[in-house]
Amino acid sequence: MQPKITSYYYFIPIILVGVFFIWKATHFPIHDFANYYFGGKFLAEGTLNSTVYFPYEFNKSIADLGHTGIFVSYAPNTPFLALLFLPLCYLPLAAAKLLFNIISLVLLLYSLSKLIRFYNIKPIYLIAIPLLFLVPLKNNLLFGQVYFLLFFFMAESLLAYEKKQFPKMGLFLSLAIFLKVFPLLLLLIFIFRKELKPLLYTFAFCVLFLGISMLCSGFDIWIFYLKSVLPKVSDGQIATAYVDNYQSVFMFLKRILVWHPTENPTALLHQPVLFKALILAFKIAVISMGYFLIKKTSNTLYAFSYLILAAILISPYGSTYTFVVVLFAFLYGVKSEISMTKKVFLMALLFLINNIPFHDYLSAYFPFSYLRLLLLLLYFAWFISLHHKTIYWKWIVVLTLIPSVGFAFFAKEETIRSKPFLTGKKTPILVYDYSISKDYLTYFYWNEKGKNQKSIRLAKSDYIPLEIHDNQVFYHKKQLTFDSSTKLKPVLIHNETILYLTDYERGIGFYALRTIPLKDETK
């Protein structure tokens, strides 16, 4: 009995760090927690609909409730998240965040306790967690993020799977999927191992939660999420087109291969088709390697950890708080039969991945501005090397090259005729309206200070409104635009230039002003 009691002493550093940042969070801006809280609040009020994914409408609704200093975007969260946070919306905002952080920390400690007992991991390694994962732990609590809760759902599903408790496993894995979509990749464990029961239970609970969510929030918001939000999110379009903070393979290759006049003028090449082909090749390579590793390796903690790392690398966006789920890989690493020297090296690598200050390298010369990604790829390579002999590398090459080369050969590069109207580093992230009057264009934008406006003098300001049909701009019954972005308020200025608001290559509702010379569209 004594050893079991003693093992709990190793949780003290995590508890102290957690309590400290929970206290700090009470003096910190509400930040990301506002997404979850107000999603639940609007659901409780019966006003939750697809407009929650349009940041101007969402932030304006929050401001109308009397809250200031908040600027959030509900995407990429699922509509189900609002249902999950429904109970907390009956508390004041600050109290709800405090309670959520306390619950999250308790669930994280509970999950870690169960994992080290089940896998017989020496509890002394728990002491390293607050140091190695300091920034992810801190940012989850300061921002009121959900990754402690996600870790709990994923840990419960993993342990239930290990114990052959498939209904319980399906319940928690489904909750993880509806909380953050990327745990869908964990279904590959069952697919690669040809296990039907866990797959069916997970599918059944997913259908159940989807049905409950649709009954509460309606069908339309889910249709909009699946049809409009998810495709943009999958293409890295959450806010702007280029976000180095994401530290993803997607953004890394985009910096090299997709030129943009204002956001990426130093690109090495402008080869959008090659960019998409390489992204496809990377995803296929990661998943096909996972096939051999999972099918031929009986260790489920390894398979689970591999797919989590794969999901992070495949995702076009990323964040510091996401790395809480890398705790699974950390636990596998300290449990594995490698030398202490290698364990120390890997822990040092995790420390760098998680804790290097962003501003110390984001401003560095490319590719050093992607230092976290490069270190993560190194860690991922080590993870693969543990069982690399199980991989049929020739098949990986074949499976990767054929579809990616085929895509590069047959895909056509999109012709982009529109250009950003506003340029420069201080361009607002969200322009929601504009007006033209007396030789001036006044644009209205939203940030954490709420509504703002700025005026620009025009050489010629006479204009006529244009029509929008099926989300495309028309002039004299001729279609002038052809992309799938949302468009607002198109006008023709001095019979020369088309001006309109659009979220082209940006997140849903993150509008910017773009122009198209009319002569280009009448050729």
The CA distance from 364 to 101, in Å, is 34
Question: Within this chain, do residues 255 and 288 fall inside the same structural domain, yes or no?
Answer: yes
pLDDT of residue 2: 43
Residue 53 to residues 58, 147, 148, 190, 226, Cα–Cα distance (Å)? 7, 21, 24, 33, 12
Q: Are 40 and 82 contacting, i.e. CB atoms less than 8 angstroms apart?
A: yes
Q: Say whether both 436 and 398 belong to one domain.
A: no
Listed in sequence order, the residues at least 6 apart from 352 whose beta carbon sits closer than 8 Å to its beta carbon are: 375
Last residue of a domain, one of 228, 243, 273: 228
Q: Which of 162, 196, 228 is the last residue of a domain?
A: 228
Chain centroid to Cα 313, Å, comes to 11
- DSSP assignment letter at 391: S
Do residues 162 and 65 share a domain? Answer: yes
Residue-by-residue DSSP string for 463-523: EEE-EEETTEEEETTEE---S-S-EEEEEEETTTEEEEEE-TTS-TT--EEEEEEHHHH--
Boundaries of domain holding 473: 419-521
pLDDT at 496: 86
Q: Could you give the CA distance from residue 91 to residue 113 in angstroms, rounded to a whole number? A: 30
- Give helix 12-25 / helix 93-118 axis angle, nearest 10°: 160
**The pLDDT of residue 359:** 65
CB-based contact 353:372 (threshold 8 Å): yes
Whether residue 158 sits in one domain with residue 294 = no
Q: With beta carbons less than 8 A apart as the criterion, state whether 220 and 50 touch.
A: yes
Which pair of structure tokens corresponds to residue 257?
């291969």
Coil, helix or strand for 106? helix
Separation between Cα atoms, residue 167 and residue 441, nearest integer Å: 60
Paired with 442 in beta bridges are: 435, 455
Per-residue confidence in pLDDT tens, the chain, 523 aa: 344 555 678 999 999 999 999 999 999 999 999 999 999 999 999 999 999 999 999 999 999 999 998 999 998 899 999 999 999 999 999 999 999 999 999 999 999 999 999 999 999 999 999 999 999 999 999 999 999 999 999 999 999 999 999 999 999 999 999 999 999 999 999 999 999 999 999 999 999 999 999 999 999 999 999 999 998 888 888 888 888 888 999 999 999 999 888 788 888 888 889 999 999 999 999 999 999 999 988 899 999 999 999 999 999 988 899 999 999 999 999 998 888 888 899 999 999 999 987 666 666 677 778 889 999 999 999 999 988 888 889 989 998 888 888 887 787 777 777 888 988 777 899 999 999 988 899 999 999 889 999 999 988 778 899 999 988 999 888 888 888 888 999 999 988 889 999 999 888 999 999 998 887 555 4
Number of folded domains that form the chain: 3
Pair 311, 185: CB distance under 8 Å: yes
The domain boundary, picked from 413, 433, 465, lies at 413
Q: What tokens does 404 get?
A: 């990616």
Q: Are residues 515 and 387 in the same domain?
A: no
pLDDT of residue 424: 74
Same domain, 279 and 392: yes
DSSP state of 260: B
* Same-domain check for residues 47 and 180: yes
For 307, residues 6+ apart whose C-beta sits below 8 A from its C-beta are 185, 186, 188, 189, 290, 294
Could you tell me if 133 and 271 lie in one domain?
A: no
Tell me how far apart the alpha carbons of residues 25 and 36 are, in angstroms, rounded to a whole number: 16
Q: Are residues 484 and 510 in the same domain?
A: yes
Q: Does residue 460 share a domain with residue 372? A: no
Residues 196 and 75 in one domain: yes
Q: Pick from 255, 312, 260, 302: which is nearest to 282 by CA?
A: 312
Digit-coded pLDDT (tens) for 432-475: 999 998 889 999 999 988 999 999 998 877 889 999 998 899 98
Q: Both 221 and 351 in a single domain?
A: no
Q: What is the pLDDT of residues 336-353, one digit of tens each?
A: 888 888 889 999 999 999
